[in-house]
Amino acid sequence: MEDNRSKAVVNAHSESEEEEEVSEAEAKGLELDLALGRSPCAPGSSSTAAQRIQGSLFPFELAVGSFNLVRDVPPTGKQGKDLRIGLERDRDYKRLKLFRLTGITEHCSSDNEASAPLVSWDLNCPQASLIPSDTISSGKSRDQAAAGSELSMNSNDGGVDDGKKPNASNAEDIEIRMDLTEDLLHLVFSFLSQKDLCKAGATCKQWQVASMHEDFWRCLNFEDTEISEHNFESICQRYPSANRVNLSGVYNSDVLATEAITSLRRLETLVLGNGQLGDGFFHALTDCPALNSLTICDASLGNGIQDIAINHDILRELNIVKCRVLRISVRCSQLQTLSLRRSSMAHLVLTCPQLHELDLSSCHKLSDAGIRAAAITCSLLASLDLSSCSCVSDETLREIAFACPSLSLLDASYCPNISLESVRLPMLMDLKLHSCEGITSASMSAVSYSRMLESLQLDNCGLLTSVILDLPHLRSISLVHCRKFVDLNLRCPVLSYIKVSNCSALLRINITSHALQKLILQKQERLSTLSLQCHNLREVDLSDCESLTNAICEVFSNGGGCPMLRSLALDNCERLTAVGLRNSSLVSLSLVGCHAMTVLDLSCPGLLTVNLDGCDHLEKASFCPVGLESLNLGICPKLSVLQIEAPKMSVLELKGCGVLARASISCPSLVALDASFCRQLLDDSLAMTSASCPMIESLVLSSCLSIGVDGLSSLHSLQYLTLLDLSYTFLTNLQPIFDTCSQLVILKLSACKFLSDSSLDALYKEGALPALRELDLSYSSIGQSAILGLLASCGNLVNVNLNGCANMHDLVWGSSNCHSKEIIADIYPSNLVSLRSEDECFRKTEHLLETLNCIGCPNIKKFTVTSSACCFHLSKLNLNLSANLKEVDLACFNLNSLNLSHCCSLEILKLDCPRLMNLQLLACTMLSEEALEVAISRCNMLEVINVHSCPKIHAAYLDRLRFVCRSLKRIQSSLSA
């Protein structure tokens, strides 16, 4: 047995060497051109290599590689175990080796010999014949093609050359099966194109056999492919059941088509093009009994002298498109569809009693009489396309209508001589009259006789002035660029689509329909009268209809004929001055750009969105009731009277309504109200709003100059108010706020110039507003004592803004004569801190302050925060632009960021801030190197320092800073060290 196995290996190796010794000239002769340009070998070649290649040739790609299986090899490992397959590559990384252990081991005969990956052989499978495809060349080299060989197998020797005849059981043992079953592989391949099938077939024998299944080759598509007659003949012989052939763009398509007609007895569909078809081809059509569809595109038929006769008893569809021919005679008793679109024949004879569809569009050389003579012979004609046949007349249409009573589709577009006068088409369902210069309003009388009409297209009919139709089956109508069109009156109960565009003269529209759901009439600049009885209409767009008046509101209100309307767009309708809608179904309303509108009255309980951008002249607005959840009226600067009843509204913005004086707002779900710059808003309006909107959490009354004590006292009903903004007001007494808004978290009093120190006494003396966390006193008139009192006593504050406070001079926070002990870095008191000074013990309240901003305080000179201030949470301090600040002394354990930029008078800087990471000293012109060195010496975590534009900090000193503070990572400076 070992000798037999060795012998098989030697034989296989010798065979491989023989293949590699094929001469260059012979390899060229055996080369397979997968682009289907030529045959790989001459007929009758006796070359052994050629026989091997031809025997294993896949129709479209060459499967490279060969292998031999050896039987009766003792198994290794445990007997009876499941299948184990190992794949590894040989030394040159060109071929795969396959090992499989079953009851009988099968392996490659040589380490250097290629194996097909996991294939399943059918021992009775015939050898594949030469069948090229329409795919491009596989790209394999000639050496690889010559090196490929098949496994020589048959029912007698099983492909094993060991001198023994295997029995049937041995034949079953040598099968190598894949995980994919035949049915599953067939299903996967059914999704592949023919080009992909070619590539898949080159993978292995099983895939080759599967990809050659006739189910995948019923359609032979060679469009724009070079293919020889010999290859095409081989394909037709291999797949005689093919029923569709596409030879469009093939050079010798007439010869190949004749071969297809002769060889493929089941051929049903044939597609040709880009060639010359002689009279012989059309005579051969009678030899194809199953042919029912023939398509010829962009070809020359005949020699330009004799008639082209097409005779066939089975043909049902014939398409001769864009062809050059003199005369055509079609005699097909079963033909139902005929298209001669864009062909150049001057004469046409039809003998097609079963013809239903005829397309003669753009047949410019065919005369009016020729069209008439051809069409009237087809009594069953149902569809006729005469578009761009400029010679067609009304007389021809009358005779066709008389001879073809079943005509249901007529396309007479671009026929200038048609007016449809005296033409009666009672069964017509689809009529297309694009750019017909003869169509006028009188033509609509003829259209009215077509009671079955469903679709009508009248685009670019320049003389059409009115359309008045009462058609029970009309579903769609199109009127585009009808420059003289004035009146549209439709009574069509099933009408569902209307397209009216760029009809600049249109004045009146009257539509009655039970099926219409969407109506778009944009840019009808002269449209002034609109009447609708459309019970299912849901969307209307009348944007840029500049001539619409206030009367349009009656059409869309309850009882106006549109009870189901949900969306209405009246954008840029500049003649609308008073819009009043009472519609229970309306959901969306757009009034963008209605500049002339001064009054808006909406009673639409289902309204969810309204867009009023550009309504800058609106003076009175009423939303009672509406379903809006948010509303922005800040874009209406002239609004003076407002009434809102919106149960679902949560956000209302009135920012910028500078003349709003009276406002009745009833929104029980309102959470945020922004009335900034409503300078004339009175106390009684605020009181009414507070009473009817108890859920308000955020109230912005910035620059509401008319709000006084009475208005603030009414805020007691706002139990959930957490943010109150009274910036830029003239308030002098804040006691109503302290009395009624105990739950406030944020209070903004920026630029309140009339507040005195005593105005804030209740905050730091009486403990008012215990929940307050953020206080903004920027640019206010609060003095030094009030600020110190707030910082010292209001331990609940987290963010404090003192920007631009001109009355603050020196801020010294904490006792200077209290000598505190060191505070342990990792232990923080939660509420109280004990400070011992010899025998005395002081208990100070811990402050929650995290951010303190004192930007641009012009008069502050000294800023000191000692450890006794108990600011254990202060992390950010900003003193930017404080030009007179000379001394800063900070002992803040958690301070992370300190900004002293543009403090041009700063000379003394003392920092006891072990967690400081960012120090900004931009343009501190008076700060010396010694003062900076002392300041950062105790900042052990400092990473970034900015000394840009500090003239007393020299470049040579930058290295000294890095030595003093080892944690520095970046020094921002205009100098280089």
Note the pLDDT tens digit of each residue in 776-834: 999 998 888 888 888 888 889 999 999 999 988 888 887 543 333 333 333 333 333 33
Residue 890: how many CB atoms within 10 A of its CB? 23
Q: Parse the chain into domains and list their residue ranges.
A: 194-355, 846-976
pLDDT tens readout for residues 177-203: 445 688 888 888 888 887 788 888 888
pLDDT tens readout for residues 133-170: 333 333 333 333 333 333 333 333 343 344 444 444 44
Nearest residue to 897 via CA among 929, 864, 874, 881: 874
Residue 864: how many CB atoms within 10 A of its CB? 17
**Would you state the structure tokens that stand for residue 158, as one six-digit string?**
């099983």
How many Cα atoms occupy the beta-carbon half-sphere of 280 within 13 Å? Answer: 9
CB 493 within 8 A of CB 472: yes
d(CA 190, CA 456): 43
pLDDT tens readout for residues 894-949: 999 999 999 999 999 999 999 999 999 999 999 999 999 999 998 999 999 999 99
| pTM reported for the whole predicted model | 0.69
pLDDT at 955: 86
How many Cα atoms occupy the beta-carbon half-sphere of 500 within 13 Å? Answer: 33
CB 176 within 8 A of CB 100: yes
pLDDT at 305: 64
pLDDT over 70 percentage in the chain: 78
d(CA 47, CA 67): 21
CB 790 within 8 A of CB 763: yes
Cα end-to-end span (Å), the chain: 87
Q: For residue 547, give every residue at least 6 positions away whose Cβ sits within 8 Å of its Cβ, in sequence order, or none.
A: 525, 526, 527, 528, 575
Of 29 and 272, the structure prediction assigns the larger pLDDT to 272
d(CA 764, CA 788): 10
pLDDT tens readout for residues 328-347: 999 999 999 999 999 999 99
DSSP line for 883-938:
TT--EEEE--TT--EEE-TT-TT--EEEE--TT--EEE-TT-TT--HHHHHHHHTT
Residue 8 pLDDT > 90: no
d(CA 561, CA 813): 75
The secondary structure element, H or E, covering residue 642 is strand 641-645
Assign 251 a pLDDT band (cuts: 50, 70, 90). Answer: confident
Fold for 846-976, please state it.
3.80.10
CB 780 within 8 A of CB 749: yes
d(CA 212, CA 214): 6
Handedness of CA 683, 688, 694, 695 (dihedral sign): negative
Residue 336: how many CB atoms within 10 A of its CB? 17
pLDDT tens readout for residues 943-977: 999 999 999 998 888 888 888 888 999 999 887 54
What is the three-class DSSP state of 776? strand
pLDDT at 167: 46
Residue 374: how many CB atoms within 10 A of its CB? 24
What is the three-class DSSP state of 396? helix
pLDDT tens readout for residues 770-792: 999 999 999 998 888 888 888 88
**Would you state the structure tokens that stand for residue 286, as one six-digit string?**
């009678």
